[in-house]
Structure 1
Amino acid sequence: DAVSSVEKIDTITSTSQEGLSTVTIQFTQDADIDVALQDVQRKVNGILSSLPDNIETPAVSKMSMEDMPVLLLGATSDMKDTGFYQLTNDLIKPQLSKEAGVGQITIFGGLPRQINVNLDAQKLRACALSALEILQTIQSANVEYPTGTVKDKDLQYTVRLAGKFATVDDIRNLVVSRAKDGGEIKLSDIAEIEDGQEDYNTIVRVNGRKTIGLMIQKQSDANAVEVCQGIEEELRVLEAKYRNIHLHFTEAFNTSTYTVDSANAVKEDLMLAVLLVAGVMLLFLHSLRNAVIVMIAIPTSLISSFIGMWAFDFSLNLITLLALSLVIGILVDDAIVVLENIYRHLERGKDKRQAALDGRNEIGFTALSITMVDIVVYLPLSIVSGLIGGILREFSIVIVISTLMSLFVSFTVTPLLASRFGKLEELSRHTWMGRFGLWFERQYQQFTTDYLKLLKMSLAHPGRVLLTAAILFVLALSLIPTGFIGAEFMAQTDQGQLQIELELPPGTKIEDTSRITQDVEKYLSHFPEVATIFSAAGVSGRNSVATNSATLYVSLVDREKRMRSTSQIAKMVQADLARIPGLRPHVSQSSNGSAPVQIAISGPTWHAVSQTADRVLQIVSRIPGTGDVRLSSEIGQPEMQVQMDRAKMPTLGLNVANVGQTLQVALAGDTTCQFRDSDGTDYNIQVRLDQFDRSNTDDLGNLTVKNDSGQLIPLNQFTIITSGLGPTQIERRDRMYAIVLSSQAYGRAGGDIGSDITKALAKETFPAGISFDPVGNLKNQAQSFASLGLALLAAIIFVYLIMAALYDSFIYPFSVLFSIPLAIIGALLALALTQNSLAVFSIMGIIMQIGLVSKNAILLVDFTNRARENGYGVKEALLEAGRQRLRPILMTTLTMILGMLPLALSSSASSEFKKGLGWALIGGLTCSMLMTLVVVPVVYTQVDRIREYFAAVGQKLLQKSKSPLMK
């Protein structure tokens, strides 16, 4: 409630469980997190006085996606548990923290040293003492603080009270009370004082051997790859330094490995794209000389693009490399158009210099226009907000820079090289290249003849052509609602990682959880694809710490070395583990364990939310494609409920606070006191009842509480103790009680499952005030799709405005824009045939092709307009435009298609999300190339008729306005 008034909050969620409550505040994208952190800290400080006295001061920290763990390590050695934990905490952790870019390092597992004061309940009663009284005595005897100063003639001295325990025997010999006969009652008389270790709350193993886990997070502005490389180098130094204890580190997961593999895969795609584009150039130009003139645009533009990337402070990461690999086919577009026009002038008999000048000048404005059309498409993408905003900004700006550089090269370098080295090639039958070139030209001429026949037929029957195009467009769009094309936020990538959460019945002891976890480890070790198994019994992916849960991180071998995908293995493991009685496994492919389908169920009361969640769980479990459906909080945690008789308590001299504190010390224990060893290290002093007195629920009523008069009152005199079941945790979202339902997606896109859930819930009736909201990937998908939809609309508007300026007409641009739905037909058909879903990157591909396919239409319309200015009729001009522009259209489109083919066919790391982008572009460009050559000329004739009609109407109105009657 206190922090809800902070500005620019998107969502507030809280999770409360025994001994811990976490409040997470998610801010809007435009919020200044540093300012927000200060505001939240002030709000928290303002309510500290109203919080219980015995809680720790709330810690406020900021986090982002950049702060996620990048490395999980397991450390093993031959040392004893407590000594190895101390070595890890005091020496290894600080050493690793010194590495550049390292943020927080969290240690879990291992056994820290602890001084255990195990109280004997019977002896406490015999001495008329309570657990709370013993704790207070220890606290008051273990203090150290300055008491003032004294001066002599020369110096001033600070007086410090050294009241801290110096040895464990000091604790044992502490006098806690006096017996009736006046004798001393020492702490050792009523308790066992043990220089031991903390209780097992997590048991961590790596490949079956007990270990200490280290979770390493990077700083927000640090590079994950560089941080992991620095840590790996330091690990080798530490292993060499402590080889006498056989110190060894095992990586459970390393996010940089996937990043590096993905980047290397994109580099390979880029090089393959260059080779394919070079092949197209050689095929159409029949000359290595001419192909080189065009291909020079690629390295020249790329090198120039690096300067622009440096200016924007971009690095060569996965996104920028992906943009550069996609732009390979685009970089030669302008050079092809310019060079092809230069050769047209060479064929007219002009010398190379004049042909280069005239060819560039003639086509220059058109080349500038098609480049501007390509660029404006990326402007909306570069300003998209939300989770994907940063990704799209880098991606878009890199493509814009590269495209501008290619235009500059085509206006300067390409004409220069053509004027020096360009010449008309005469194909000879005496060389293999000449024979192949002549054969290709015959095929091309035949293709041109057939195309012109088809174009004439289409111009004679425009209605049929437009109706066919409209039907195809409607059928393509219908692929989405009919389920042939799924929808999801991001395509699931195969990172070779599994996260398995094991959930046993609430209340299960940590020892039993560890035993089941070991059995699961043995089962997993039989998979040939498994490389490393890291397990943490007592750690839950949702609850942080829970004795009935365990989390396993499973690393698989490289995808080239395994026959099955991560998804297939995950599904198999989920099915096998689900057969174990009493075990609820949750297997996911992501290292953070998040499910692709998540729905938040919110309401005004916990009872209503809990009952509704149980109903929704049954509904969702019946929806096809769902699996491992679960709730974030469930009733089932065994608990002993102590109900106090408030009317009776004052007569007994008791109050709620005193009773609660006594029970907490006796059962949970208290570690607020610390023991300082001779080396200056502080260790917790744990005060509580011994294990025997905490092992029987029937003994709970015999616990005693000391009243105001010093009498011990048994708990059963003023309370009723019952056993029952409570929630595992209590959640709130935006100040409402909430439970999150999550599900894995098997065989279907997560977005489609989310849509089916929404439809199914709409048919049901729920209590008043209950609401359902998508969270996680479903929420990200909704926000991203909305942003990309606006970007798509803005891109079309920008293209139209440029066309209107180019043609000085508001009507002719529609003949160009008609190529966009033709491209969408191909994009959707390609996604359906290749079984790719409609995700962020595939939608990006659809937006990208708006500019790319408009280029071909511009080439046709621009040439048609110039032909008409030279006296051609409309149909004759369109036929001539088709004949003259067929070759550059085929060349530019094929270079783009083949340039993107490596991405679409890739099976390397990160190929899953690249495939959707690649196939959307390839399908759109292919369909647009084939249909634009026919449909755009037909649309042009209809647009021209509309223009003539309005011109005639306008002329009549003008004549009427000049008639004598009007005067």
Structure 2
Amino acid sequence: MTFGSLAIKRPVAILMLMAFVLLLGLVSLTNLQMDLLPKISPPILGVITSLPNAAPGEVATLITEPLEQVVGTASGLKKISSRSAEGTSIIILEFNWGVNLDAVREEIKDRLEFLQLPDDASKPMVVKFDPTRMPVLQITVTGEKPLRELQRYVEKEVAPKLDSIPGVASVEVTGGPEKEINFIIDEEKLQKYGLNSKVLAGLINLNNFNLPAHKVSKGDKILPVRVMGKFRNLEDLENIVVGMEWGEVLIPIYLKDVVEIEETYGPLDSLSRTNGLDGINITIQREGDSNLVQVTQRVLEMINKMEKAGDYNFTVTLNQGEIVQKSINGIVQNLIIGAFLALIILLVFLKSILSTIVITISIPFSLISTFILMYFTGLTLNLMTLGGLALGVGMLVDNSIVVIENIYRHLQQGEELSEATKKGVDEVAMAITASTFTTMVVFLPVVFVGGLTGELFGELALTVSFSLLASLLVALTVIPMLSFLLLKYQRKIPQFRVWGIYQVLLSYPMTYKGITLFLTVAIFILALSQYPKLGREFIPEIDEGSFIINLTMEEGTNLDITNEEAKKIERILEEYEEIEVISTRVGSRGGITGIPRTDRAEISVLLKERGATKEFISKIRENLTDINGTLTFAQQNEFRDMMGSSELQMIIHGPNLEGVQKLTEDIMKALEKVENLEEIRSNIEGVKPEVQVLLDRNKQALYQLTTASIAQNIKTQLAGERIGYLYEDGKRVAIKLVYNKEKEEGKKVSVEDFDNLKNLQLTTPMGGRVALGEVAEIREAYGPRTIYRENGQVTSIIQGKITKGDLGTIQKEVDKVISDLNLPEGYSTTYGGASQLMEEGFQGLNLAFILALFLVYMIMAAQFESLLNPFIIIFTIPFAGIGVIGGLVLTGKALGITAFIGIIVLTGIVVNNGIVLVDYINKLREQGFKKEEAIIKGGSVRLRPILMTALTTILALIPLALGLGDGAEMQAPMAIVVIGGLLISTFLTLFVLPVIYYYLSTKDKF
């Protein structure tokens, strides 16, 4: 049974199938998760190891380099880079896409088991990079309460409630002081009882455990035995027996007898403010399989209840859920507008409301069918999948247009509705199937292109393919059935009166065939001459209406001074009405490295409106020139946070640190000549001021002091020694041993008292005391803060902010500047970040484009059972490049990954009209028409469906091309490319393809 017969004989069955698909589609839609971007799992592992108190050079030699040798031969490894900082080694392993990361992780763990590291080093921790662990909400809590009370409220009341919300993975509270329990050591008391700080620390540690102790039987049960020694409260801690006093009666010596116990709060190494008010920050992460929008909405509902019930204010400084919702709404809005514009075209051409309604049904029905396939293949609603639907919405009616237009043609010839319906669908079934598969098949290489590009655009490709497949099934079943049921109520079949005009216009290229081809080739060459002038980019940035100002003060600047400069910036920003929220964080607790940075501040700015963030940054930049320190600006968006910014990034490679530092300085100076490149900086943070203690080996031996014992002595007396934790109300409180720093002369021994450091008293193994200055020389010196390496070489990274233009254009200017520098032997430069991603993306898509051409040709050859006919049609693809280049030039858009995807999409679209035209011309020639007569008649008959399918697709993409709504920035270049290419290809199909057909189709009949 043919499709035409099915539509006439089984309309009820088709209606029931429609109802089933509609129901299943709506259920699938309600269960689809929402995200900003597809779920991307970059093949990246990190190896983190600590070596307490070690300088960066020591960390590099003792930890990083041995680790690199062990993990550097892991399966599928693409690049290895490392960062050696004070006390911490971080190695980043980047693998080829498609590698089984879990298996590689276990392989690396097994290798590390046999590696010998210094005794003080921690066990290397192998971690997996997980984008879903990025914050989805950041909230600042403020109120007219002391900061400690505010912190206590957030930790005890707010955080537990938020943590219990379904979908919330973790709740992190920062911004307040950390509670500590200090044991203030009195050396005289310790000596009196024959104790020292090392023994004391050991006793505390050995008693702060819960340990298993095998099992016992009780009746028919086996019960585990546990020794409960972990401290439950401060009283437990105070009453540890640290010794015995001998006499007539043994008297226990308790910890509280030999130390002064103090509950206090550690010094602040970071501050937080929102709109000028001190506050506590809450950072929320979601579970990987949860619905982002739903999770953020639940959290916001909870904090709204708490805000109404208490005296505290909750300010949301980051809401990824809102960003996702607005972006999705923007794309949906563009989709609806595009569909509406496409329907107007249908109404204009068909001149029939009834026929327009019949075709219109194909849009929602195809979309709903797509949701079913999305749900069962695990896709989410995100910018890429919805962008795919917006891209394809105009094409969803193409097949239906061809079917109903052919039914019209048979009705105009006087045939009965049933016969016209049957012939109308059966005649074009093969043609529209072939055209649909040529469009779908171009996405196959994109899905398998691999890398970040494949991960990002694979879901777009699948979504478009799903929707086109659904539209084909609708056109072959639903449209004929509805036409058979409804078109009988149409009184008059509308006539298409442009045929005559087209025949007159077509006569000119058919008369002047050589001139037509010459002009076409000339215009094509002219367009190609503009190709090198096109800008290059990776992916357009999404404007989320927020940005960050990073303040970097001089190395070692204390928190108070950094805070004052941050306040100056805040006061300037408060003058701008466009700003909704100013959130400031001064200093940091060190993150993975654990090294506090008091010379940094981050000011996050949330604007009231989105869409002009870059322009606003340029405006405020001029008013921040008097700020001390270095300022850098960056727009916030999830893609940037995940994969790095669109800034220029250059990596310097060399054999040693000094040479790399010198070359970095020279290149940075040279880059100052490049226009539109500002905020030039490097990750070489200069030298770090430090105090070096140079030991006198003879005196060291005299007092029986080891290097390790001297270092530990100094650290304990200056900063205290963390020896364990006590848990109070579920919160971990550090236990520290600290020395009573007040000396007889009333001075303090601290970091600030450099001149008094020599008086610091060291305890010898025999219990004696000796001043540090007696066994060592103390001096001020400088050393590197961080050492970076990549693939075994020392590296540095230079970054620059592009204020105008595109990445590719700026990169060309940088290449000119660098070529004037004579790089020393053994040193080289490469591009990283967005430049590297762009290069890798273009390489993959170039291959995808070539494969798409072959696949399109093969499908057409199979349909026509001819090698020549597809060759004729495929000429429209390169000539469509005229429209592609013209569209990008006219709109000022750069050629990026999204635009390149548009070119690949065009490969499948532009041949569709050619297929319909050539297929019908061949049918006419089989009926006995002469070649030129068949060309003119075939073009006239297929004129309406060709114009309708092209214009519906073009108009449906206009909202996306204009970048209307939130989140449309990413798809705009793709839409522009498709519109430009389709405009030109439609013209070529109607006027130039007939000429090419005439020359290449040499036989009178087929």
TM-score, normalising length: structure 1 = 0.87
Is the contact made by 1:266 and 1:325 (CA closer than 8 Å) also made in structure 2? yes
Q: Could you list the runs of 5+ residues in structure 2 that have no partner in the other structure?
A: 1-66, 743-747
For residue 133 of structure 1, report the CA deviation from its aligned partner: 4.2
**Helix, strand or coil at the partner of 1:780:** helix
Following superposition of structure 1 onto structure 2, how do residues 92-111 of structure 1 map, counting pairs within 5 Å? 92-111=158-177
1:507 paired to 2:574: no
Paired position in structure 2 for 1:14: 82
Q: Relative to 1, partners in 2 of residues 1:163 and 1:929: Cα closer, same or farther, differing over 3 Å?
A: closer
Structure-2 separation of matches of 1:338 and 1:533: 58
Q: Relative to 1, partners in 2 of residues 1:588 and 1:417: Cα closer, same or farther, differing over 3 Å?
A: closer
Q: Which whole-Å deviations, capped at 9, do the CAs of 1:221-273 have from their partners, x for residues lacking one?
A: 333212212222232344456x2xx2332111111111100111111112212
1:36 paired to 2:104: yes
Following superposition of structure 1 onto structure 2, how do residues 149-168 of structure 1 map, counting pairs within 5 Å? 166-167=234-235
**Helix, strand or coil at the partner of 2:290:** coil
Paired position in structure 2 for 1:685: 735
Structure-2 separation of matches of 1:156 and 1:288: 79
Is the contact made by 2:617 and 2:633 (CA closer than 8 Å) also made in structure 1? no
Q: What is the percent sequence identity of the aligned residues?
A: 29
Structure-2 separation of matches of 1:210 and 1:565: 29
Alignment equivalent of 1:573, drawn from 620, 624, 629: 620
Paired position in structure 2 for 1:598: 649
Paired position in structure 1 for 2:481: 416
- Greater Cα shift, 913-922 or 590-599: 590-599
Paired position in structure 1 for 2:964: 907
Q: Relative to 1, partners in 2 of residues 1:737 and 1:52: Cα closer, same or farther, differing over 3 Å?
A: farther
Paired position in structure 2 for 1:205: 273
**Helix, strand or coil at the partner of 1:72:** strand
**Helix, strand or coil at the partner of 2:1001:** helix
1:112 paired to 2:168: no
Is the contact made by 1:499 and 1:553 (CA closer than 8 Å) also made in structure 2? yes
Is the contact made by 1:825 and 1:927 (CA closer than 8 Å) also made in structure 2? yes
Following superposition of structure 1 onto structure 2, how do residues 616-631 of structure 1 map, counting pairs within 5 Å? 616-631=667-682
Alignment equivalent of 1:519, drawn from 558, 568, 572: 568
Alignment equivalent of 1:369, drawn from 434, 441, 455: 434
Q: Relative to 1, partners in 2 of residues 1:96 and 1:363: Cα closer, same or farther, differing over 3 Å?
A: same
Q: Which whole-Å deviations, capped at 9, do the CAs of 1:586-618 have from their partners, x for residues lacking one?
A: 444446664322222233322222222212222
Q: Relative to 1, partners in 2 of residues 1:24 and 1:935: Cα closer, same or farther, differing over 3 Å?
A: same
- Greater Cα shift, 414-423 or 257-266: 414-423
Q: Relative to 1, partners in 2 of residues 1:681 and 1:420: Cα closer, same or farther, differing over 3 Å?
A: closer
Following superposition of structure 1 onto structure 2, how do residues 22-421 of structure 1 map, counting pairs within 5 Å? 22-47=90-115, 50-53=117-120, 57-117=123-183, 133-134=196-197, 136-141=199-204, 143-144=206-207, 166-167=234-235, 170=238, 194-239=262-307, 243=310, 246-421=311-486
Q: Relative to 1, partners in 2 of residues 1:767 and 1:649: Cα closer, same or farther, differing over 3 Å?
A: farther
Q: Which whole-Å deviations, capped at 9, do the CAs of 1:509-541 have from their partners, x for residues lacking one?
A: 011111211221121111111111111100389
Q: Which whole-Å deviations, capped at 9, do the CAs of 1:133-160 have from their partners, x for residues lacking one?
A: 4354244256525898999x99999876
- Greater Cα shift, 330-339 or 159-168: 159-168
For residue 764 of structure 1, report the CA deviation from its aligned partner: 2.7
- Greater Cα shift, 97-106 or 261-270: 97-106
Is the contact made by 1:384 and 1:392 (CA closer than 8 Å) also made in structure 2? no
Q: Relative to 1, partners in 2 of residues 1:773 and 1:190: Cα closer, same or farther, differing over 3 Å?
A: farther
For residue 806 of structure 1, report the CA deviation from its aligned partner: 2.4
Paired position in structure 2 for 1:868: 925
**Helix, strand or coil at the partner of 1:913:** coil
Structure-2 separation of matches of 1:670 and 1:752: 54
Structure-2 separation of matches of 1:732 and 1:105: 34
Alignment equivalent of 1:498, drawn from 544, 547, 555: 547
Paired position in structure 2 for 1:957: none
For residue 762 of structure 1, report the CA deviation from its aligned partner: 4.1
1:842 paired to 2:842: no
Is the contact made by 2:407 and 2:424 (CA closer than 8 Å) also made in structure 1? yes
**Helix, strand or coil at the partner of 2:136:** strand
Is the contact made by 1:889 and 1:929 (CA closer than 8 Å) also made in structure 2? yes
Is the contact made by 1:456 and 1:879 (CA closer than 8 Å) also made in structure 2? no
Amino acid at match of 1:697: F
Structure-2 separation of matches of 1:274 and 1:515: 54
For residue 548 of structure 1, report the CA deviation from its aligned partner: 0.2
Alignment equivalent of 2:843, drawn from 782, 786, 794: 786
Q: Relative to 1, partners in 2 of residues 1:764 and 1:470: Cα closer, same or farther, differing over 3 Å?
A: farther
Structure-2 separation of matches of 1:775 and 1:589: 20
Q: Relative to 1, partners in 2 of residues 1:783 and 1:176: Cα closer, same or farther, differing over 3 Å?
A: farther
Structure-2 separation of matches of 1:647 and 1:475: 83
Following superposition of structure 1 onto structure 2, how do residues 531-610 of structure 1 map, counting pairs within 5 Å? 531-539=580-588, 545-559=596-610, 565-590=612-637, 594-596=644-646, 597-610=648-661
Structure-2 separation of matches of 1:817 and 1:585: 49
Structure-2 separation of matches of 1:269 and 1:164: 60
Q: Relative to 1, partners in 2 of residues 1:185 and 1:853: Cα closer, same or farther, differing over 3 Å?
A: same
- Greater Cα shift, 757-766 or 416-425: 416-425
**Helix, strand or coil at the partner of 1:277:** helix
Alignment equivalent of 1:885, drawn from 942, 945, 950: 942
**Helix, strand or coil at the partner of 1:61:** strand
Q: Which whole-Å deviations, capped at 9, do the CAs of 1:390-435 have from their partners, x for residues lacking one?
A: 332221122112212222222222223333433697889xxxxxxx
Structure-1 separation of matches of 2:934 and 2:215: 107
Q: Relative to 1, partners in 2 of residues 1:169 and 1:79: Cα closer, same or farther, differing over 3 Å?
A: farther
Structure-2 separation of matches of 1:28 and 1:453: 56
**Helix, strand or coil at the partner of 1:628:** strand
**Helix, strand or coil at the partner of 1:912:** coil
Paired position in structure 2 for 1:958: none
Is the contact made by 2:510 and 2:995 (CA closer than 8 Å) also made in structure 1? no
Structure-2 separation of matches of 1:813 and 1:343: 28
1:664 paired to 2:718: no
**Helix, strand or coil at the partner of 2:262:** strand
Structure-1 separation of matches of 2:950 and 2:855: 22
Structure-1 separation of matches of 2:467 and 2:951: 19
Q: Relative to 1, partners in 2 of residues 1:258 and 1:58: Cα closer, same or farther, differing over 3 Å?
A: same
- Greater Cα shift, 791-800 or 354-363: 354-363
**Helix, strand or coil at the partner of 1:370:** helix
Is the contact made by 2:389 and 2:464 (CA closer than 8 Å) also made in structure 1? yes
Is the contact made by 1:573 and 1:587 (CA closer than 8 Å) also made in structure 2? no
Amino acid at match of 2:437: M
Q: Which whole-Å deviations, capped at 9, do the CAs of 1:304-349 have from their partners, x for residues lacking one?
A: 2232223223333332222222222111111111222222222222
Amino acid at match of 2:508: L
Structure-1 separation of matches of 2:75 and 2:301: 44
For residue 890 of structure 1, report the CA deviation from its aligned partner: 0.8
Q: Which whole-Å deviations, capped at 9, do the CAs of 1:867-923 have from their partners, x for residues lacking one?
A: 322333333322222222222111110111111112112431112112111111111
1:456 paired to 2:456: no
Structure-1 separation of matches of 2:731 and 2:477: 71
Q: Relative to 1, partners in 2 of residues 1:529 and 1:491: Cα closer, same or farther, differing over 3 Å?
A: same
Amino acid at match of 2:541: Q
Q: Relative to 1, partners in 2 of residues 1:191 and 1:287: Cα closer, same or farther, differing over 3 Å?
A: same
Is the contact made by 2:147 and 2:278 (CA closer than 8 Å) also made in structure 1? no
Structure-2 separation of matches of 1:899 and 1:158: 70
Amino acid at match of 2:810: I
Amino acid at match of 1:323: G
**Helix, strand or coil at the partner of 1:769:** coil
